[in-house]
Structure formats: structure tokens, C-alpha cells
Structure 1
Amino acid sequence: MIPRASNALDWVAGSDAPEMNSIDIGFMALTDCASLVVAATQGFAQPYGLTLNLHRQPSWASLRDRLLSGQLQAAHSLYGLVYAMQLGISGGASADMAILMGLNQNGQCINLSSALQQADVTSPEALEQRAHHNGARMTFAQTFPTGNHAMWLYYWLASQGIHPLADVDSVVVPPAQMVEHLKAGRIDGCCVGEPWGASAIKQQLGFTLATSQSIWPDHPGKVLGCTQEFAERNPNTARALTMAVLEASRFIEQSVENRRSTAQLLSDADYLDTPVDCIEPRLLGHYEDGLGNSWQDSHPLKLFGNGQVTFPWLSDGMWFMTQFRRWGLLREDPDYLAIARQVHRLDLYRQAAEALDIAVPNTQMRSSQLIDGRIWDGSDPAAYARSFALHARVDGSPAVAAY
């Protein structure tokens, strides 16, 4: 029997009952969809009067289109995708979007190909040398043009002195296809979520040069997203969904055994469809880089973190907009804070968390230091976006001086 806070089920009766009893939810084959899979399959949604129907999507673009069309009511989403849809730069139709909660922190990686490994390009310095002096232009893959993986890849390359728009080519590859692209030699490296980085190493198709948590410890990851229209028309449903996923997130992190059983569940053909030994180690924070190094990561994939992971921090969303501005995806500064306040449904999250006795932070911003030593705290996003030596002009072309 799953333990629940005494007031958690008060929402399912009377006027607080969910407006919808069956919800179609999109997800991508990534380890960080874990909380949704556990919520849907392990009895966390039914007590709230909900049935969660999970639909694996072939690409982030497909997920975007089906969310906007109403075929999906909610989705395991990239932060950068939700904000791009809100801002009208996602490559599809735009809509007012809502983030109900965070789904994870950490747990992505930048892998390089076995060809680069054989050429002794196994350090940032060697990669920078090859990018600037060795002739052949390299191609790096990410999973969506405005997505988290693109932003991690761009930020990391720039921190090593490699301009991600001028010095290398960037292509979009759906996460589950990334290993095949490495195998076919179509790409020299990629930034992707697990289990695909670990899978590439298992198949001896390359190595992990950097983890996303080495770029930004405890960085924001995926979110539970929906359209603002859905949240406004179905607030009880959105709140109940948030509660079910919150409970599942907390459950996974209650023990190592719960994480192991989650890895086993995710390996099923309906979800990640990949061997459990490609999922479990990095879900537990155990890393091997394919170069003979192994370690227990101090910032492993987190799905709950006593509510610090699941809280939809305004500053997390604002950071992605600063990177859109930095790389020329936005031609002018948006009203960073106002947009974040519109997108992040802190009201619904707070109600859900308080009903489950999950602590809610007293502030809506958090402060972090990234790999290049810069501090991001959301206090002056426009200045932060302009402060980088490597960026793009407003027309999207590369630039290396200040705006």
C-alpha cells in the first residue's frame, strides 16, 4: 500500500474532483521519464480518480505537435521546448504553455565518437585543437533546436572556446536514434539524455567527455508540461496529475531498491526498450566514461530531491530564455520574469505539494555556478545574456564580441 498524506485525497471528491478521468500523456524514451511511468503503472494515479495513458513519441517535434493539437493533454517535456512553444520559436504553432512541475535534475551527457577516441581526441583541449586547426569540420547532434541538449552542448562547447555555430555543425537527432547515428559515423559527438550515452559506451561507439551536471550541477531537466488552456479548463485534473507524479517521484528516491526496480520497469519494450544494464548504473549515479574511468557522481540524476527538483523554479525557465537570446533565437530581450511567472503554475504546484506534506521553497529563484564560473540567479537576465564572449548576432550569425 502506498503511504499518503492524510489530506492528499481531499481533492478527489465534490467540487475538487478531476474534470477528466483519463489523460493522454506523451513521453520520450529517456530515463528521466521515470516518474511518469511509475505514476501511470504503479498505482499512484488511480486514488486521485485518474488513468494516465502513456504514449511514447518518436521525436520532440512529434510530441510538440500532438500536445498543441490536443491529442496529448500533458507531456514529459524539454524546458527549452515549452519555452520555445510559448515564444513562438519552436518550429511549429505557438501557444500559451504551462509547466506543472520539474521531473528531474542532472543526468545528460556529451559523448564523442569512437573515431575521435581512436584519434586521441579525448580531452576538451584536444577537441578545441581539432575544431580550430585540424581541417575537417565536426558534426554534433542534439535533440531539438531550442531544447535542453542543444543548450548544454552550446554552453559546454563555448566554455571550451569552441563556437557551436561557427566552429562545428549542429544537427537534430531524436534521442533513441542517437546511438545509430554514432554507429553509422554520421556524427562526431552528441548531447543526449540517458540511457543513450551509456548505451553508446556499452556498444563501444565512443565515450563520455562531459556530463551535463559538470556543466551546471543540479541543473533543470525535463518538466511536466501542458498548454495553459488545459490547465485553466481542468485545474483539478492538472493538480491531481501533479500530485500523482510527485508521489511517484518521492517513491523512486526512497531507496536504492526502488531505483533498481524503476530501471527494470523502464527497460520494458513499452518504455525505453533497452537493456537494464544501460539504465540502472547511471540512474544510481554510477558512471563509466569508456576511457577506463569510473566514479560515483556527486550530482546524479535526481527525480525528487525533497521537493527541490520538482519545484518549478522561475529562474530555471528564465535561464533558457537567456540562452535563446545569446544564440540569436530571440532577436530582442523578452520580459524574462513576466513570461516565467505566466508559464510556471506555481499555484497548482503549491497546492499539490502542500497536500502531500512536501516542503515548498520560500523563494522562486535559486543561485547556481556553471562550468565557466558564472553565477546564474535570475536577478538580471538581460545583462547575463549579453555577458558572454561567444554568442550569435541577432540575425543568428556567429559573433565573438559583446553585443
Structure 2
Amino acid sequence: MQIEKDIVRIGFNPLTDCASLVMASVLGLDRKHGIRIVLSKETSWAGVRDKLLTGELDAAHALYGLVYATHLGIGSARRDLAILMNLNRNGQAITLSRRLVDEGVRDGAAVAALSHARELRWAQTFPTGTHAMWLYYWLAAHGVHPLREARVLTVPPSQMASNLAAGHMDGFCAGEPWNHRAVMDGVGVTIATSQQIWPDHPEKVLATTADFVRRNPNTARAMVAAVLEASRWIDASAANRMAMAEIISAVQYVNTGKDVIWQRILGHYEDGMGRSWEDAHSMRFHHEGAANFPYLSDGMWFMTQQKRWGLLKASPDYLGVALKVHQTALYKEAAEITETPIPASTLRSSVLMDGTTWDGKDPERYAGSFDIHM
């Protein structure tokens, strides 16, 4: 198998869920599969998108919704993108300002009551991304219209805790370790985890352009194989997760204390309001391959939410678009190389926090089923 491009430049944002890309490089799993991963630390999701489109990056740690928005021409020039694999499940959160907790706001119902009385300022990391969708879904499930009863800002993930401390927002939704950073700094509390919104939800993906996959299928397959092996290594033991936390805490990666990363990586949660628990749905990087398979239904869900909130003006061909974006055949080849289990179906069923079931079978009906929408 001839590798078309042996050096691949992969962009990432400083978040815990970039870990499988970092470990693929650090452990030499990229070289095992005939490529060399050169990591590029980025400062925003918009920057990741733009560098993918110009070719400055070959691939990237990316948001599901960013990929679909770009593919459908929402907020940028339309360009065919490709999802090679899922990088992780779970492990994001909604953080509320300590100031509001001191006013007695300690749960979703209290947030809703306050939101009906005054406009709260929330931040997410990209207008069409996962964090915007988790935030909107959570607010709407509590009876708050996120686009009419809130002011929503876009802030890079690593700047969330500092902006919360400065009083620029009342809360935010972002990936770890920035929610735990806010708790440790005493400036915020975890009012909800993303896995409470959707247990075992899809999160980041390994994305590239459709053109890259067409020109470099063997390179793309090698990337997936290397990252699958790194994902398996991370999930193999608590010791591996601790070692990973130590490595990614370095300045060239996440640039924060390993103590900010490791607790939630091991499922140890505290919310900053006196509650602690062991989370059965904490961040997973492999989960016997289930966390990595690019389920078509996962991608379609983000399109249903983009339609719900008016980001998509008309209903897309949900399944047709997902089939085009998700490189399931290439993924299965890499899974076979790495002896990674493959699920029986490209669709999966989940029950979200409001009791609704999402199984990907009737996305248009699902998108139109919500009481709160644009």
C-alpha cells in the first residue's frame, strides 16, 4: 500500500479530547502506519476551518457541526468535507458563573426562571458546533428559548474560564478541561455535563476535505489506523489515562496543570456546589471502537438541530449528506487493520435528557418535533 503523503499536518484546539492525536504521535503509532503526524496548535474553531479549506492543514480535530455547516455552506463558503472517524464521546459541560450560584441559581429550573426575568449572557465555541447545540438543547429542555431569551457569544474554548472570571458572561458550554478549570478557580460551577444531555453522545471528529481523501486514500486510512490504536491505548487503563494527562498538559498541547485534566478523565467529577460523583459516561476515546465509529445517525442529529435553530433554512437530504460526509468504508478498512470491532449498523438509538429518542430513522420528523425552535 503506497502512502501518497507521508507527512500530515493535523490541527487541534487545546482540549482534553485532542489526546488521541497527540498520543498517536508521541507513541509512534503514526510511523507504525507509514506516516508522520505534525501537530499544529490552533486558537479557534474558525481558524481550524479556514486552514482546512486553504490546505494549510491536511486534517483536524474538529467539531461535528463545523464539518456539516461547512459542507452545507452555513457561515462560510460551501466546501465538501469528510469525517474520517469520531475521536471521542462525552466529556463536555455547561458551566455557570459562581456569582449566579451565590444568588441562589443552582439548577436548570432556576436558570430558566432567571432567564425569563432577564437576559443571561452565554458563550459557546462555534455557532454551529457541538457546544452551541448542547447549550441550546439544555436551555430549551428547561423552557428557555436560547435565541430569544439569551445573548449567546462565541469564545475560543481556552478563553472561557478567564472570561467568566472577568464577568463577560454568565455561563458557557465548552470542552474539558476548561469547565473543571472554572470550578478549580472558584469562578464557576458545573450545572450540567453534556453526557447528562445525551449519554454517550458523539463529540469531536477527525476531519479533512473530500479532495484530500480522493487524492490520498492510503494516507487517510493510515491516519485513522494510527488514531484508533492511540484511542485504544488511552482507554486501556487508568495508568495510561494518567500518563496521557501528564503529556497533554504540556505547553505545546493544552497548557494547563495535569490536575485540571486527570480527574474528569478518570470519571471523578465535582460540580463546585458540594456534589461529587463517579460518572459512568465520562469521556471515552475508544470504548471497544464504539466511540470511534462514524455513525451516520450522529452526523444527521447535528443537521436536525441546525434546522431546528434556523441555521439551515430548508431540510437537507439528511441521509444523503451523511453518506457523502462520513467515510465509513475507509474507516472499516482501518478498523480491520487494527482489529477494531465494527458495529452492526451505521445508525444507533439514544434517549436524550427530555425523553426524546433519536435513532436517525426519520430525521425530518424529529427536526420538526420540538416545541421550542426558530
Calculate the TM-score normalised by the size of structure 1.
Answer: 0.92
1:21 matches 2:6: yes
Q: State the partner residue of 1:187.
A: 169
Matching residue's letter, 1:60: W
In the TM superposition, structure 1's runs of 4+ consecutive aligned residues that sit over 3 Å from their partners are none
In 2, the alpha carbon distance for the partners of 1:67 and 1:40 equals 20
SS at structure 1 position matched to 2:207? strand
1:41 to 26, 34, 49: 26
Tell me whether 42-51 or 19-28 shows the greater mean CA deviation: 42-51
Tell me whether 43-52 or 335-344 shows the greater mean CA deviation: 43-52
1:58 to 36, 40, 43: 43
Q: State the partner residue of 1:11.
A: none
Cα deviation digits, residues 271-317 of structure 1 (max 9, x gap): 00000010000011100100011000010100000010000000000
Note the aligned Cα RMSD (angstroms). Answer: 0.6
In 1, the alpha carbon distance for the partners of 2:184 and 2:195 equals 21
Answer whether contact 1:18 1:49 (CA < 8 A) is retained: yes
1:102 matches 2:102: no
User: Residue 122 of structure 1: CA displacement?
Assistant: 0.9
Cα deviation digits, residues 148-167 of structure 1 (max 9, x gap): 00000000000000110011
In 2, the alpha carbon distance for the partners of 1:231 and 1:344 equals 11
SS at structure 2 position matched to 1:34? helix
In 2, the alpha carbon distance for the partners of 1:325 and 1:127 equals 25
User: Residue 355 of structure 1: CA displacement?
Assistant: 1.3
Q: State the partner residue of 1:87.
A: 72
In 1, the alpha carbon distance for the partners of 2:79 and 2:252 equals 30
In 2, the alpha carbon distance for the partners of 1:59 and 1:34 equals 17
Cα deviation digits, residues 362-384 of structure 1 (max 9, x gap): 11000000000000000100000
In 1, the alpha carbon distance for the partners of 2:309 and 2:317 equals 17
Q: State the partner residue of 1:397.
A: none
SS at structure 2 position matched to 1:305? coil
In 2, the alpha carbon distance for the partners of 1:388 and 1:138 equals 22
Q: State the partner residue of 1:242.
A: 224
1:74 to 53, 59, 74: 59
Q: State the partner residue of 2:105.
A: 121
Q: State the partner residue of 1:197.
A: 179
In 2, the alpha carbon distance for the partners of 1:99 and 1:86 equals 11
1:359 matches 2:370: no
Tell me whether 120-129 or 301-310 shows the greater mean CA deviation: 120-129
In 1, the alpha carbon distance for the partners of 2:283 and 2:238 equals 13
Q: State the partner residue of 1:298.
A: 280
Matching residue's letter, 2:355: G
In 1, the alpha carbon distance for the partners of 2:66 and 2:36 equals 25
In 2, the alpha carbon distance for the partners of 1:206 and 1:45 equals 38
In 2, the alpha carbon distance for the partners of 1:334 and 1:181 equals 36
In 1, the alpha carbon distance for the partners of 2:342 and 2:3 equals 23
SS at structure 1 position matched to 2:288? helix
1:212 matches 2:181: no
Calculate the TM-score normalised by the size of structure 2.
Answer: 0.99
Q: State the partner residue of 2:115.
A: 131
Answer whether contact 1:182 1:188 (CA < 8 A) is retained: yes
In 2, the alpha carbon distance for the partners of 1:129 and 1:47 equals 55
SS at structure 2 position matched to 1:277? helix
Matching residue's letter, 1:126: A
Identical-residue share of aligned pairs (%): 52
Matching residue's letter, 1:96: D
Unaligned runs of 5+ in 1: 1-15, 393-403
Q: State the partner residue of 1:10.
A: none
Q: State the partner residue of 1:7.
A: none
User: Residue 359 of structure 1: CA displacement?
Assistant: 1.1
Q: State the partner residue of 2:16.
A: 31
Q: State the partner residue of 1:148.
A: 130
Cα deviation digits, residues 254-285 of structure 1 (max 9, x gap): 11100000000010000000000100000111
In 1, the alpha carbon distance for the partners of 2:175 and 2:76 equals 23
User: Residue 357 of structure 1: CA displacement?
Assistant: 1.2
Answer whether contact 1:68 1:93 (CA < 8 A) is retained: no
Matching residue's letter, 2:68: Y
User: Residue 92 of structure 1: CA displacement?
Assistant: 2.4
In 1, the alpha carbon distance for the partners of 2:202 and 2:285 equals 11
1:330 matches 2:312: yes
User: Residue 129 of structure 1: CA displacement?
Assistant: 0.9
In 2, the alpha carbon distance for the partners of 1:347 and 1:259 equals 30
In 2, the alpha carbon distance for the partners of 1:32 and 1:162 equals 29
Cα deviation digits, residues 18-76 of structure 1 (max 9, x gap): 10110100000000011000001111111222110000111000010000000000000
Answer whether contact 1:24 1:55 (CA < 8 A) is retained: yes
In 2, the alpha carbon distance for the partners of 1:267 and 1:253 equals 18
In 2, the alpha carbon distance for the partners of 1:81 and 1:330 equals 13
Larger Cα Rg: Structure 1 or Structure 2? Answer: 1
Give matches, 1:206-355, under 5 Å: 206-355=188-337
User: Residue 93 of structure 1: CA displacement?
Assistant: 2.3
SS at structure 2 position matched to 1:365? coil
Cα deviation digits, residues 332-351 of structure 1 (max 9, x gap): 10000000000000111000
